[in-house]
Chains A and B, each alone.
Chain A
Amino acid sequence: MTERPILLVEDNPDDVDLTLRALKKNRIANEVVVAGDGEDAIDLLFRDEPLCPGLVLLDVKLPRMSGIEVLARIRADRRTSFLPVVMLTSSTDERDMVEAYGHFVNSYVRKPIDFNEFIEVANQIGMYWLLVNRVPFT
């Protein structure tokens, strides 16, 4: 398992807590860096000493800069173009999904209301993207 941190981009503190709780329940020990909005996320990723996460969990609806725009910036930069990004969102809107896949998102996951289900979803995401999936070193 990679020791790289997980970047969670989420403006809702409830969702942040519940996500962290779900990750912890699944014993995913990677550091989780939380960005409250899109600009913070971009700042973290492209600052002088950039954060190099192993996975980005990205909400769609964010203040200041939307998740789709953040995704576009990640894919546009050579350094982050292969970074695994999973959209983790409430929206099942068709257009959001189309846009996300249009910008080469790695996975699109709807957050279930049932917390037990959410734990299961978090487990599968962590297991797959941090453990099973392989990414070229950049």
Chain B
Amino acid sequence: MVCAWSAAALSAVVLIGWVTHWWVLTHTLPGQIQMKANTAIGILAIALATLLLQRAGASGSKPTPARGSNALSTVARALASLTLIIGIVAAAQYALGVGFHFDELFFDDPIEAGELTPAGRMAPTTAVSLVLLGSSALLLALGALRRLTVWLTCGGGAVPLFVLVGYLYAVPGWSRSGPRAVMAANTALALLLLTVALLAMNAEAEWFHRVFDPASYAARLARRVFGFTSIAIICVGWIRLVGERAGLYSTAEGLALASVFSMCLGLGVVAVFTRLLRDEERVRHDRERDLIESEARWRAMFDHAQVGMVQTAPGGRLFLANAKFHELLGFTPEELRQKTWAEITLPAEVAESADAVARVLRGESSRIELYKHYVRKDGSPLLAHVVSAPVRHPSGEVAYFVTAIEDVTERRRSEQALRLSDERFRLAARATEDIVYDWNISEDRIWWGEALARLGYQKPSHTLEWWSSRVHEDDRADVERLLFEALRGPDERWQSEYRFQRADGTFAVIHERGFIVRDDTGRAVRMIGAMSDVTMRREAEEVLRDSHAALQKMVAERTSELRVERDRLQVLAGELQTANVELEAFSYSVSHDLRAPLRSIDGFSQALAEDAGDALDDQARSHLARVRAAAARMGNLIDDLLELSRVSRAVMSMGEADLSAMGLSIARRLCEETGREVRIEIEPRLTVRADAQLMGIVLENLLSNAWKFTSRKAEPSVGLGRSADGSFFVRDNGVGFDTRHADKLFVPFQRLHRVSEYPGTGIGLATVRRIIRKHGGDVRAESEPGRGATFYFTVPSDGDSA
């Protein structure tokens, strides 16, 4: 195109020169040969024809030109024909040696001196070139004999090229006044440009297109070599010419030199060419290696990706998928290759996906991203996050899609679980009486549980500032300091107790516990906790503390009272101890000192009776006998009293006491001592846990009493047994007594009978009761006068089943 326009412009300028007779425009350099007007017309016509053909596309690969381009083709044909005619006419004139005056048809040619060509006539070479190029353009316009046109064009181009080189070498006589009619330089240039334009137009000139293929490295290389060798050859030729002209060497020598130079040049070209090719080879090799590596990397990524990846043809066929994709969907590679994406998509969602694909194919969006359900081989659905991007041909057409799918079933489930647990948290917050909160620290936003309404706040603000402004001003500084220390520190928990203002202005005692959530760097980002209203508890504790103090005071008072009491008792115990000691001393002296006078009374009464027996009458002797009896009774009294006292002081030694055996042995002794016959009934196996020695004294007293009071009975009978209620008894059929006086029996010195009738000290039963009571039991008597008496006694103890 550029060449055609340049040629057209050149010829137009020359024509303008001819029209205006402004000769500057008609030749290249002053003094050189002009381009003739006819030549300019011819060149212009071919240039226009070429441009028109280019426009009509007739020169393209399409054999039949479109209908709209027919008119343009016709004009082009006409123009080509015109040039052909101009050329043929000029050539014919030369060949026939005649002049048709055709040359001056349009313009006058002021013939300059020495000019060889007839006025207005172009040079013969120009005519030849125009004929060749013109016929070539005509054939191209007709769309026939294309191969021939290439040769015609080349031939048409060779002529001006020769002329141009000739001008370079300054061929002698190539001027207006030269001996030969020669083509003008500007004509040669224009014709050369036309040649190039025509070759570019001609689809048949494949070699030409190959050379000028802008994308080909080989073409670029070839062009460079061509340019370089052309210039070099011209230079060699020029140097040889200059040398010859200067007479430095002969023609043959010059030719030899030029040949050597040409060979060296050829060698240099080959060397350079080889090096360039080798570099190119190396670059290509590197590129291939990079490509292979990149392919391997991509392949590895594709195969081992943890997301499913698949390549899909624009038609929907799945032609390559990675292992994860197969694993997710359960198809084998063979099965998958038989399917389109629509066939493995949940039918209800096919339309949505198809829509997204269509948008990409139309170029409305660059990628697809959506959630959709695939259908696995086993029919189960798979929820996936799908990202798909097209891979395009250089033309912009979509070659295929690369699609990545990620199984989000688990993610969805955990999102759901999170939502659920959040829900649980809210429900729990509602259920508890504590004021639950969730403080987003980085955004300073506090979510409050509903329990905050308990403090009267229906619509609380959600900032920390709101909270801290309601903490009692005496507590605020401490609470805030501790809170921020906890947030900075490594601990997860914090707790505090403070007074918090209710909506009505009063204060509640709050015990707060919080859990601090930290991010990876340890920064506190969140705190979840609960504020417990412990006002009631604290008040109750205070009341409790008060009552505790009161109680303590009371206990202290009571203790001191008791201490006084104890001291008093200690004094009493001391007094009692003293009394006991005194009693012991008393009974000790009784046993010694009261008996000594009795011995004297008795002894000296006896001595008197013996020594003065003759001088004493019966009454005096009777008196002495009474003195001695009284002394004896006094002795008994003392012995019994000592026994009572000893029994009271005795330390008990508990053991198994066989009352039956004891009773039997006592009764036997009484029989022997008194010589009386008494009926004795003793129940066998009367055992009791008691102090055996003391129980012996009991039986001794009771049995000897029974013995004594049956002494006047004709058939005396004494029994020892155990009654149904577990109490023991000693029974006799003696004189008995009036039950009204039963209580007096056990008081010391109390007697119900005269000593003259039944001797005794009145201390025995008192001793019995003392012993029984010492054992924790009791003793009682039942009787009717004249019908005997029964003495019951109980001995409650471990071994006794009373």
Q: Which residues of A contact B642 (CB under 8 A)?
A: 92
Residues of B near A114 (CB, < 8 A) are 602, 628, 632
Chain A, 97-123, contact with B by CB distance < 8 Å: what is the 0/1 string? 000000000000001111110100000
Per-position binary interface string of chain A over residues 1-44, scored 1 when its CB falls under 8 Å from any chain B CB and 0 otherwise: 00000000000101100100100000000000000000000000
Q: Which of B166-174, B217-225, B590-598 contacts A (4 or more CB under 8 A)?
A: B590-598
Contacts of B604 in A (CB 8 A): 14, 18
Report if A90 contacts B (CB, 8 A): yes
| B471 smallest CB distance to A (angstroms) | 84
Q: Is A49 an interface residue (CB 8 A)?
A: no
Inter-chain contacts of A48 with B (CB < 8 A): none
B245 at the interface (CB under 8 A from A): no
* Inter-subunit contact A14/B592 (CB<8 Å): no
**Which residue of the partner chain A has the closest CB to B606?**
A115
Given contacts A91-B592, A92-B591, A92-B642, contact A21 B599 (CB under 8 A): no
Is B625 in the interface zone, CB < 8 Å from A?
Answer: no
Q: Which of A15, A89, A116 contacts B600 (CB 8 A)?
A: A15
CB distance from A83 to the nearest CB of B (A): 24
What's the interface size class on B, roughly?
A: 20 to 34
* Chain A interface bracket (under 10, 10 to 19, 20 to 34, 35 or more): 10 to 19
B600→A14 contact, CB < 8 A: yes
B603 contacts A12, C-beta separation under 8 Å: no
Query: Quick check: A118 and B607 within 8 Å, CB to CB?
Result: no
Contact status A14-B591, CB under 8 Å: no
Is A77 an interface position by the 8 A CB rule? no
Structural contact, B596 and A15, CB atoms closer than 8 A: yes
Asked whether any CB of chain A lies closer than 8 Å to the CB of B203, the reply is no
B441, CB-defined interface residue at 8 Å: no
Which single member of A90, A113, A118 contacts B592 (CB below 8 Å)? A90
B606 and A90 contact, CB distance less than 8 A: no
> 1/0 per position for B593-632, CB-CB distance to A under 8 A?
1011111101111110000000000000000000010011
User: Would you give 15 A-B contacts (Cβ < 8 Å), ordered by A?
Assistant: A14-B600, A14-B604, A21-B603, A61-B593, A90-B599, A92-B591, A92-B642, A111-B599, A112-B599, A113-B595, A113-B598, A113-B631, A113-B632, A115-B599, A115-B605
| B635: Cβ under 8 A from any A Cβ | yes
User: How far does the alpha carbon of A14 sit from the alpha carbon of B593 in the complex, in Å?
Assistant: 13
Interface residues of A (CB under 8 A from B): 12, 14-15, 18, 21, 60-61, 89-93, 111-116, 118
**B residues within 8 A CB of A93?**
588, 591
For residue B634, which residue of chain A has the nearest CB?
Answer: A113
Q: Are A18 and B600 in contact (CB under 8 A)?
A: yes
Cross-chain contact B591 with A116 (CB below 8 angstroms): no
B residues near A90, Cβ cutoff 8 Å: 591-593, 595-596, 599
Distance between Cα atoms of A74 and B653 in the complex (Å): 36
* Besides A91-B591, A115-B606, 20 other A-B contacts (C-beta < 8 A): A12-B596, A14-B603, A14-B604, A15-B596, A15-B600, A18-B603, A21-B607, A60-B592, A61-B592, A89-B592, A90-B591, A90-B593, A91-B588, A91-B592, A112-B599, A113-B595, A113-B598, A113-B602, A113-B631, A115-B605
* B599-A14 in contact (CB<8A): yes
Best-buried of A15, A89, A93 by chain B (most CB within 10 Å) = A93
Q: How far is the CA of A112 from the CA of B593 in the complex (A)?
A: 13
Give A18 to B610 CA distance when docked, in angstroms. 13
**Taking CB as reference atom, which chain B residue is nearest A113?**
B635
Give Cα A21–Cα B606 distance, bound, in whole angstroms.
Answer: 11
Q: Which of B596, B597, B604, B634 has the most CB of A within 10 A?
A: B596
Nearest residue, chain A, Cβ from B589: A61
**Nearest chain A CB to B583 CB, angstrom units:** 13
> With A92-B642, A113-B632, A115-B606 given, is the CB distance from A18 to B599 under 8 Å?
yes
- B632 neighbours in A (Cβ, 8 Å): 113-114
Residues of A near B634 (CB, < 8 A) are 113
Nearest 8 CB-CB pairings of A with B: A14-B600, A18-B603, A115-B603, A113-B635, A115-B606, A90-B595, A90-B592, A113-B598
